[in-house]
Amino acid sequence: MAASPISLTGRALRLLSTREHSRAELERKLAKFEEEPGALAKVLDSLTTKDFINEGRVVESVLYRRSAKLGAQRIKQELKAKGLEPEAVAEAVTLLRASELERAREVWRKKFGTPPADAAERGKQMRFLASRGFGGDTIHKVVSGGDED
């Protein structure tokens, strides 16, 4: 006897058990399992009503997991990719910008720890911080060692 297929609700709950997902993420991941039109929307509405899907928690989760290593630009991209409301993304980015310099210094310190010896090393350090999503002004302050608080 074959095992019964997992319901859309079961699949959604399995995804939500590993980490917070936005509604848009769940729609993308579960669309291929929808057997009748509108069934997925009903399941997601039900999960939202029961607070299993909560966009605020998704934002908090991303900030908690990623802010120690990444700059505001990179996190903004991740939040947008999750299909979150633009207002929630803008609010999160504003929060991140307040601690951007401090976070960039910590990331730089863990990776390099010493000021660049020459232009090539300076470029390497700047590219590293840029790839992590930190802004240009912040990168210059960190790499040049200026504006110590």
Q: The domain 100-144: what is its CATH number?
A: 1.10.10.10
Per domain, the residue ranges of the chain are 1-53, 54-98, 100-144
Written in H, E and C, the secondary structure of the chain is CCCCCCCHHHHHHHHHHHCCCCHHHHHHHHHHHCCCCCHHHHHHHHHHHCCCCCHHHHHHHHHHHHCCCCCHHHHHHHHHHCCCCHHHHHHHHHHHHHCHHHHHHHHHHHHCCCCCCCHHHHHHHHHHHHHCCCCHHHHHHHHHCCCCC
pLDDT of residue 148: 52
Segments of the chain scoring below 50 in pLDDT: 1-3, 147, 149
Report how far apart, in Å, the C-alpha atoms of 56 and of each of 23, 92, 123, 145 are. Answer: 12, 10, 37, 36
pTM for the whole structure: 0.84
| Predicted local confidence at residue 67, as pLDDT | 94
**What would the CATH number be for the domain defined by 54-98?**
1.10.10
Predicted local confidence at residue 2, as pLDDT: 43
| CATH code of the domain occupying 1-53 | 1.10.10
Do the first three CATH levels of 1-53 and 100-144 match, i.e. the same topology? yes
User: What digits encode the pLDDT tens for the residues 112-143?
Assistant: 999 999 999 999 999 999 999 999 999 999 99
Residues 34/40, Cβ–Cβ less than 8 Å: yes
